[in-house]
Structure 1
Amino acid sequence: MPQRTVLLVLFDGVQSLDVTGPLEVFAGAELHTPGTYRIRTASLGAAPVRTSSGLTLVPDQDLADAPAPHTLLVPGGQGTRRPARDPRLADWLREHGPRAERLVSVCTGAILLAEAGLLDGRRATTHWAYCDKLARDHPSVEVDPDPIYVRDGHVFTSAGVTSGIDLALALVEEDLGREPALTIARHLVVFLRRPGNQAQFSAQLAAQTARREPLREVQQWITEHPDGDLDVESLAARAALSPRHFARAFQAETGMTPGRYVDRVRLEHARRLLEDTADGIEEISRASGYGTCEAMRRAFVRTLGTAPAEYRRRFRPAVPTR
């Protein structure tokens, strides 16, 4: 198996976890299967860099001297954004990025890739707080704000911070297989692995909290009773509003329709049961409000691109079902 060089780009204002998270994954893979990865860090002029949290990182070499890597990883952080951004970074990426066999960004590292023209015509994601900016500043990039990471050909972009670990685990699994990636995930005490199209936010985080108390109580009721009667008429009655008034007010105050909110809460409830319990698929479908296994399967495939049984296998391969 050929050794793959992984080059991590460092710069002032980088987010330290965007660097160390993926680095620990690839380093773990090298320990597990020696000779598979050669990990290097580089900065402009080989200068030490100060991360956004104040940690100083000393690179291995100058970017100017770095050979073309197999995997070029660009982290995010304050240093990717104006006025802190060094314009030479985009220039270097524009010249050297196309030489990498695999181009990867974590968090707002996607902004640097876009500045270098490396995301033109591609689908990409970044930290939720900067998706609108990325789309506005680079209209040639198809920005998807929902997934934790996106693959478009040989280009991989991921969302905020810890999603870089998810993406690195996915890359190791692609390179070496499932077992080494699972061993690394267990060592790091993280899941193997959140699917790339899993949403960046839970329903409770994605939706705004309603201003009015009756609507907030309905939100809480939905979360606590995913298997309940959650049609608009029943929820409206709980809020003491007409169905039409309730639907308008709920969307205005939370940013999503009642139906969409219910769908997300039920999916998250089912996911947690698949991850944390040994309950059977049929039992979970009832407890999550789907009623039937087929209804839950359709919801999983539509939203996560995988069936419940496969989702459980990815997250908890050793959990017996009953």
Structure 2
Amino acid sequence: MAFLLVPELHLLDLAGPAQVFSTAAGLGYGYELAYVAERPSVPAAQGVTLTARVDWPELGRDDLILIPGWRAPRLRVNGRLAPQTLERLRAHHAAGGTVASVCAGADALGQAGLLDGRRCTTHHAVQDELARIYPRARVVRDVLYVVDDRVVTSAGIASGIDLALHLIAARHGPGAAGRIAREMVVYARRNGDEQQESAMLRYRSHLSDVVHRVQDIIDARFDEPLPLAGLAAAAGVSERTLTRLFGEATGMTPLRYQQRLRVERAEHLIGQGATVEAAARAVGFQDARMLRRLRAR
């Protein structure tokens, strides 16, 4: 993946997503990070000068280009990109790749014409200006991020972490995103239209090592059959003890916790366009009947 650096960029706009993907790489998910700019030295808004390569790495359709935001009391003050850079963004998207932005970085996607006819968002301070400059864009307010046809835009500063965790979850599943979020000590949040706390973290505010170990197993393999006996053996306790400890820590049984993860993941897939039947199969249900029943609760 490549980060496109623009002068006066905000460090957290870059560092947040970079930390997510570098943590993913360290956990074995195969990411290689490149930092590209139109000039080899890029001043940040916080007074640090960054270095970047001026030649683009070879990118395929599975790669991501992410544009951190920059200091923008008004969008047109900074962030003007050269025609060849904008063409690079258009060509990557046209070839099936994903492009993403944090904060004012949405302006770069707008310059490339990639916001036309698409839903998008940006920092609340420049939402009105983005809508005015790009009248064909459909600016969504008060959400963390928006996904529309491999164009992913996020709100200000720290929401870049939410965006990056979403992209990890979409590609590798929520277990991977939850694992990275725990490594970074952040909440795994999703779109503002959906629940903003993942079940993986909502039921982690306890001190039981046994329950945390079992939750780790369920998080990673929630789409598989996980008999209580196997979970108890992995935790080194009896089935009765596991059920008691799990209930005390989370207020539910291991099976109910697994079902919540399945439903949460299925809701995400349905929100991305999957049918209920396809989502049910993807999360481990034999058919859609159980998923419909659980969603109705």
Q: Is the TM value for this pair above 0.5? A: yes
Residue of 25, 32, 40 corresponding to 1:38 = 32
Structure 1, unaligned runs of 5 or more: 1-5, 201-267, 282-300, 306-322
2:52 is the alignment partner of 1:67 = no
- 1:231-310 to structure 2, matched below 5 A, reads none
1:53-202 equivalences under 5 Å are 53-59=46-52, 61-62=53-54, 64-68=55-59, 70-78=63-71, 81-88=75-82, 91-100=84-93, 101-197=97-193
Structure 2 distance, partners of 1:24, 1:48, is: 21
CA offsets 1:228-265 (integer angstroms, 9 cap, x no match)? xxxxxxxxxxxxxxxxxxxxxxxxxxxxxxxxxxxxxx
Residue equivalent to 2:2 = 7
1 CA distance for matches of 2:137 and 2:10?
A: 23
1:183 is matched by which residue type in structure 2? Answer: R
CA distance in structure 2 between the partners assigned to 1:65 and 1:187 by the alignment: 30
Aligned pair count reads 203
In structure 1, what is the Cα distance between the partners aligned to 2:117 and 2:194? Answer: 23
Change (3 A) 1:65 1:191: closer
Residue-by-residue CA offset, 1:122-157 (whole Å, 9 max, x unaligned):
000000111111111111000011211001011110
Distance 1:279 1:184 in 2: 21
Instruction: Could you list the structure 1 runs, at least 4 aligned residues long, displaced by more than 6 angstroms after superposition.
Output: 273-281
- How many angstroms does 1:111 deviate by? 1.1
Please, which of 15, 18, 24 is the counterpart of residue 13 of structure 2?
18
Letter in 2 for 1:125: T
Q: Secondary structure at the match of 2:33?
A: strand
Q: Is the 8 A contact 2:4 2:37 kept in 1?
A: yes
The structure with the larger Rg is: 1
Distance 1:198 1:129 in 2: 23
How far did 1:91 drift?
4.6
TM-score (norm 2): 0.61
Structure 2 spans left out of the alignment, 5+ residues: 207-248, 253-266, 272-297
Distance 1:180 1:198, change over 3 A: closer
- TM-align CA RMSD: 2.9
1:9 and 1:73 in contact (8 A); partners too: yes
How far the C-alpha of 1:108 sits from its partner, in A, is 0.9
Q: Deviations over 1:198-254 (max 9, x none)?
A: 699xxxxxxxxxxxxxxxxxxxxxxxxxxxxxxxxxxxxxxxxxxxxxxxxxxxxxx
TM-score of the superposition, structure 1-length normalised?
0.57
- Once the two structures are TM-superposed, the CA of residue 279 in structure 1 deviates from its matched residue by 8.6
**Would you say the 8 A contact 1:97–1:103 is kept in 2?**
no
- Work out whether residues 81 and 108 of structure 2, in 8 Å CA contact, stay in contact via their aligned partners in 1: no
Q: Deviations over 1:282-315 (max 9, x none)?
A: xxxxxxxxxxxxxxxxxxx9xxx8xxxxxxxxxx
